[in-house]
């Protein structure tokens, strides 16, 4: 029978074992479960916007197709690839954690940061284009070519969803970048090892999740009936 006395735990509290836990395995399980439940809340958070998207695309399919075709699909596809690459480097960082390779953790985290940064940069260029083309909902100058006046409002709905969804996705990316920066600083202090790399692990879950959201946003926003545009 293990000794449960409190002084014992108080003395041994460390990053790898907080006082409320009995074992490191219990702590790691709790952290992972906590992150998964957080991701469920994120599914529901984006879910509200997916619901709005489903409703309006169902109501205005033609307008959504034309509005979607005004987005740059090639740029979007390349950006999707960049984000998938960042997920790959992230999982490699976690693998380095499993193996206790401190240097490799840092290298792969920096790569992840780099790809994440490229994604956000491309996103910023795309947004800038939208501003230049007056595709900003709520502005008096809003005008989408190839649509009757009557449909301009519906096109604004598309772009409202576009900006809300990609904007909140980008916000999650920025938060992810912040987390990875913190991880890199911690990793440089050498606190991660094969026995304790939970922060890298759960940050990875978050990063992949943000990736999954984009995996859905890309076809739903960029790729609606592209053949009509030809």
* DSSP state letters, 107-155: HHHHHHHHHHHHHHHHHHHHHHHHHHTT--TT-TT---TT--HHHHHHH
Whether the Cβ atoms of residue 34 and residue 42 lie closer than 8 Å to each other? no
Shortest Å, Cβ 190 to other proteins: 21
14 phi, psi to nearest 5 deg: -150, 180
CB of 185 to other proteins, least distance (A): 19
Q: How many residues touch other proteins (CB under 8 A)?
A: 88
17-46 residues near other proteins, rule: CB under 8 A: 18-23, 25-26, 29-30, 32-34, 36-46
Q: Does 205 bind other proteins (CB under 8 A)?
A: yes
Member of 16, 72, 95, 101 binding other proteins (CB under 8 A): 95
State the nearest-atom distance from the C-beta of 181 to other proteins, in Å: 20
DSSP 76-106: HHHHHHHHHHHHHHHHHHHHHHHHT-HHHHH
What string marks each residue from 97 to 136 as x (binds other proteins by CB under 8 A) or -?
Answer: -xx-------------------------------------
Q: Considering only residues 11, 48, 178, 181, which one is a binding residue for other proteins as defined by CB under 8 A?
A: 48
- The overall longest dimension of the chain from CA atoms, in Å, is 77
Q: In this complex, which beta carbon is closest to other proteins, that of residue 189 or of residue 227?
A: 227
Identified binder of other proteins from the candidate list 80, 102, 112, 198, rule CB under 8 A: 80
Contact assessment for residue 180 and residue 113, using Cβ atoms and an 8 Å cutoff:
yes
Residues whose CB is less than 8 angstroms from the CB of residue 50 and which lie 6 or more positions away in sequence, other chains included: 216
Tell me whether residue 121 or residue 153 sits nearer to other proteins (CB atom).
153
Q: Does 208 bind other proteins (CB under 8 A)?
A: yes
């Amino acid at each position: 029978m293990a000794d449960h006395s409190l002084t014992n735990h108080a003395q041994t509290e460390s990053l790898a074992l907080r006082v409320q836990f009995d074992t490191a395995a219990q702590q790691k399980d709790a952290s992972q479960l906590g992150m998964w439940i957080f991701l469920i809340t994120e599914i529901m958070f984006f879910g509200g916007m997916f619901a709005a998207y489903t409703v309006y695309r169902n109501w205005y399919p033609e307008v959504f197709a034309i509005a979607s075709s005004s987005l740059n699909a090639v740029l979007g596809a390349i950006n999707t690839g960049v984000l998938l690459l960042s997920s790959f480097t992230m999982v490699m960082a976690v693998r380095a954690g499993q193996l206790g390779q401190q240097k490799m953790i840092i290298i792969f985290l920096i790569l992840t940061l780099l790809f994440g940064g490229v994604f956000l940069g491309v996103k910023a260029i795309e947004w800038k284009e939208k501003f230049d083309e007056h595709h900003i909902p709520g502005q008096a100058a809003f005008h989408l070519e190839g649509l009757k006046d009557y449909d301009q409002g519906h096109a604004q709905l598309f772009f409202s969803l576009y900006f809300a969804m990609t904007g909140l996705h980008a916000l999650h990316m920025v938060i992810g970048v912040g987390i990875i920066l913190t991880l890199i600083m911690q990793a440089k202090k050498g606190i991660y090892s094969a026995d304790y790399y939970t922060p890298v692990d759960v940050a990875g879950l978050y990063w992949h999740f943000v990736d999954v959201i984009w995996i859905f946003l890309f076809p739903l926003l960029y790729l609606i009936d592209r053949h009509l545009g030809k």
